[in-house]
Structure 1
């Protein structure tokens, strides 16, 4: 099973991760995620429970037709039912039909679950574990045994919990996985209990099998720490999910575990080139499950290597080690310089460089840009969340933008309509713009005023700029900046736009929410056009 410093990764995003509230994966989603995990080099990918639902059956069939390149896809199931032979259990027949070489079987470790959950005897539970594993072994399967509720079971009845593991080992399981199913165990207890298991079962990390694995949940906020504690004591398989998705508070986050194990602790999990896929994989899967990426996630978050304070930025530019614990490129992330009212000249210079603009601190434009940032942020603008707007601001100050159109005016009319079902709103926007000396008047509907306004504007411009047909709004956020001012308060609107390949965010601020929205919509279109223009090529500033 590899050298002593090899850690085997086991991803259960497609089964345990999919049990998170709000996640629903299609068959196509599951296949795409599996192939990305395979590309990243994950050795074991748990695909689901064939027999429990038709989607998982189809998933395993599809992978029989088009196998993964290197990963072992694993079918998941419980031990046989009480007082029924394994060879006759229909759940195990579905497991065999899935055609995987590896199977993960979970069984009860906690006597409470045996007597209260299964309503059977402790001896029968041992028979269920042994019969199931032995049967699968006779059918040519290799078995990973997940000891469910292991840590709780050990605390309450250590002798019986150990007996379940000894039974699985004797029956032929190659991996014995200690599961903190309720997520309530703390790292120091994990360390102590893993040491007890290694002693009791005479596990030797340098031998092929059986070996220990660990499966932790995050209900106490310690899933990653518990996984690391287990590895330090001799565990050689770590189970988890991408982004920590999972039931209740989630599972151990592989996006945090993997770089800690490999970059900090010296264990081997992935090839270095595969490790650089980590950030991409995290964000891709967040898109697939339709959940916003956590910008502040360790290692892979957008803000994980973001620097806002001027002193920080200046230091990082001299030596990244001053404020970065690893090189972001090692895990496929990148350094970001955040622009805000806390920015100094170092922030502006660094940000300009990332946009392909060569500035130096002696340029008058540099200080003008910094002064303008502070002025606008005092009014309520927020450029750290709207970098597209900041790039436009910078290029405008340097004379590097063009006027794509001029607004003559717009109107938005909203109705609340009532039918047989729930009431719904309908908005109608009329807009007049001038493009290259030609006036255009257009009307469009939307399910809200901003949607209607965006549609009308794009309709007016698309004949002049065909690429606008690919633009669409992907997110819309509104914040009231001064709640005490009532209806006269300034409103900040952040709009995220996309052309199908790239996303960018723009900002607008005004006491009028439609005016703020219009500012953000217009800048979103202007920035999208900028992406297609030659102005995105590196340019020198005019001092």
Structure 2
């Protein structure tokens, strides 16, 4: 039978200590419910004594139902000189009404003597009294031994004594914390092995990623006998972050047959990662192992050719196991295999156009040499392939456009775009004002097309990026414009390149409209203009 590992998620507490990470109480509840559905064992919700938002979360959590996870309140041992029943921090942990609590105490004599300015024996007494107080209130107590590895390196006997003090007082689990993130995997293995000889309750690991070893250290601890692992989704956390559960869970469960979550939930991992990124309003890391968009992306033609024959040649697991998917990128490194694979994904039967494949590859390389980038503009790539194979029919044709920008002495400005397009031999002439040239063009084009394709109102622009390609030419340099558009949760990217930023924007803009019309109105016969 596979060894079971208790997964303790601290995204809502330690994760929020990361730069730019913040959640409202309602956000925390939404995330907690997703973590529970995923199969996480413990969800640390925050420190009720530190801010009103965390206390509000515990109030919301008390009214919610959780099918699997135990909600955990976090705090510290009582202050020196306080009796536990008079210590406000411990009282708030009880008032949070969570089934489990996690408290941290000092394991490193440097902190005991210099930071707390108490004796080693007084610190052991504080640990015992705090744990005993919480156990008397029927709490499951998880004791976090802060700075344990640094303390062990200085005085191993005392560091272990702090664990035994918690154990003697009734702690259910003791957790070894690499708080500064400076311990190496070999040291973790050695120290965990020694601790397990002296402690008789479950031992856990809480690692930080300051040496890029958060996951490696957690794995080393598990392999040495730890059965409880703390970490965060996407590795969020203070400084360089915490053990990334999005990497740790599949490493343990897929690679080494440990049981971390129910097997059927593994395929939800990628969605969970991206959900929490969205709630945190942070851009997902595309290169994150397992769950990143690039984790199973192939660009080199030789790689793609091999993967098409046997996915194991360049993929360490099947991406679908953790809810991700294979992506084949098209660029100047592409070969026939990339083009064929992408065409198949797009539903284009290139077998019928075998003579066009080499031509498409040449055109692609030429365009990339000019500055086009199709990796983030797959909609433009699809239009390129369809046009070169003759299966594309234009939805509209440009007759011409003109943009006027006025600025008066008062400092205000006005931008107007006028354009003429042809749809089904009908010419539509429209004008619109905007905040700038591209906005005005967008509004004018929408105004003109809406008369023929009312559905165009459903799409909107998500993002607009401009990149200067040859900086040495200054304001005369070529620019690349990337536009992300969306409709009802679906998004697509388009690209344009020119020495004229308006022309580059027009290319990307019209590709975006054309792609939308092709996807949403494949069989549409345009209406007569009203």
* Conserved? CA contact 1:17–1:244, under 8 Å: yes
Partner Cα separation in structure 1 for residue 248 and residue 46 of structure 2: 22
Which residue does the alignment assign to 1:207? Answer: none
Which residue does the alignment assign to 2:431? Answer: 442
Partner Cα separation in structure 2 for residue 283 and residue 117 of structure 1: 39
Match of 1:518 among 503, 506, 519: 506
Structure 1 residue 18, shift from structure 2 partner? 1.2
Which residue does the alignment assign to 1:432? Answer: 419
Which residue does the alignment assign to 1:527? Answer: 515
| Cα distance, 1:416–1:125 mapped onto 2, change above 3 Å | farther
Q: Secondary structure at the match of 2:480?
A: strand
Contiguous gaps of at least 5 residues in structure 1? 204-209, 420-424, 537-543
Which residue does the alignment assign to 1:193? Answer: 191
Q: Secondary structure at the match of 2:351?
A: coil
* Conserved? CA contact 1:417–1:426, under 8 Å: no
Partner Cα separation in structure 2 for residue 318 and residue 236 of structure 1: 40
Partner Cα separation in structure 1 for residue 64 and residue 126 of structure 2: 34
* Conserved? CA contact 1:109–1:161, under 8 Å: yes
Q: Secondary structure at the match of 2:198?
A: helix
Q: Which aligned pairs between 1:250-261 and structure 2 lie closer than 5 A?
A: 250-261=241-252
| Cα distance, 1:449–1:254 mapped onto 2, change above 3 Å | farther
Which residue does the alignment assign to 2:491? Answer: 503
| Cα distance, 1:153–1:375 mapped onto 2, change above 3 Å | same
Matched, 1:267 2:254: no
Structure 1 residue 256, shift from structure 2 partner? 0.8
Q: Which aligned pairs between 1:241-256 and structure 2 lie closer than 5 A?
A: 241-256=232-247
Cα RMSD between the aligned structures? 2.2
Instruction: Tell me the TM-score normalised to structure 1 length.
Output: 0.91
Which residue does the alignment assign to 1:413? Answer: 405
* Conserved? CA contact 1:46–1:73, under 8 Å: yes
Which residue does the alignment assign to 2:445? Answer: 457
Which residue does the alignment assign to 1:373? Answer: 364
* Conserved? CA contact 2:360–2:385, under 8 Å: yes
Partner Cα separation in structure 2 for residue 429 and residue 75 of structure 1: 58
* Conserved? CA contact 1:272–1:330, under 8 Å: no
Q: Which aligned pairs between 1:261-300 and structure 2 lie closer than 5 A?
A: 261-300=252-291
Q: Deviations over 1:497-531 (max 9, x none)?
A: 22241121111101112221222122222223333
* Conserved? CA contact 1:194–1:230, under 8 Å: yes
Structure 1 residues 298-307 or 3-12, which shifts more? 3-12
Structure 1 residues 120-129 or 237-246, which shifts more? 120-129
Structure 1 residue 439, shift from structure 2 partner? 1.6
Q: Secondary structure at the match of 1:35?
A: helix
* Conserved? CA contact 1:400–1:535, under 8 Å: no
| Cα distance, 1:139–1:375 mapped onto 2, change above 3 Å | same
Match of 1:90 among 88, 91, 112: 88
Q: How many residues align?
A: 521
Q: Which aligned pairs between 1:218-257 and structure 2 lie closer than 5 A?
A: 218-257=209-248
Q: Secondary structure at the match of 1:277?
A: helix
Structure 1 residue 176, shift from structure 2 partner? 0.8
| Cα distance, 1:433–1:115 mapped onto 2, change above 3 Å | farther
* Conserved? CA contact 2:13–2:44, under 8 Å: yes
* Conserved? CA contact 1:133–1:172, under 8 Å: yes
Structure 1 residues 405-414 or 278-287, which shifts more? 405-414
* Conserved? CA contact 1:431–1:457, under 8 Å: no
| Cα distance, 1:197–1:379 mapped onto 2, change above 3 Å | same
Match of 1:349 among 337, 340, 344: 340
Q: Secondary structure at the match of 2:197?
A: helix
Structure 1 residue 429, shift from structure 2 partner? 4.1
Matched, 1:168 2:155: no
| Cα distance, 1:415–1:404 mapped onto 2, change above 3 Å | farther
| Cα distance, 1:32–1:280 mapped onto 2, change above 3 Å | same
* Conserved? CA contact 2:173–2:203, under 8 Å: yes
Structure 1 residue 456, shift from structure 2 partner? 4.2
Structure 1 residue 417, shift from structure 2 partner? 10
* Conserved? CA contact 1:216–1:227, under 8 Å: yes
Matched, 1:61 2:48: no
Structure 1 residue 30, shift from structure 2 partner? 1.6
Structure 1 residue 451, shift from structure 2 partner? 4.1
Partner Cα separation in structure 2 for residue 528 and residue 119 of structure 1: 67
Instruction: Tell me the TM-score normalised to structure 2 length.
Output: 0.93
Partner Cα separation in structure 2 for residue 20 and residue 456 of structure 1: 44
* Conserved? CA contact 1:405–1:433, under 8 Å: no
Structure 1 residues 426-435 or 46-55, which shifts more? 426-435
| Cα distance, 1:185–1:459 mapped onto 2, change above 3 Å | farther
Partner Cα separation in structure 2 for residue 404 and residue 426 of structure 1: 33
Which residue does the alignment assign to 1:152? Answer: 150
Which residue does the alignment assign to 1:214? Answer: 205
Which residue does the alignment assign to 1:140? Answer: 138
Structure 1 residues 45-54 or 523-532, which shifts more? 523-532
Structure 1 residues 60-69 or 185-194, which shifts more? 60-69
Contiguous gaps of at least 5 residues in structure 2? 525-530
Which residue does the alignment assign to 2:527? Answer: none
| Cα distance, 1:412–1:496 mapped onto 2, change above 3 Å | farther
Partner Cα separation in structure 2 for residue 87 and residue 512 of structure 1: 72
Match of 1:34 among 32, 35, 38: 32
* Conserved? CA contact 1:179–1:214, under 8 Å: yes
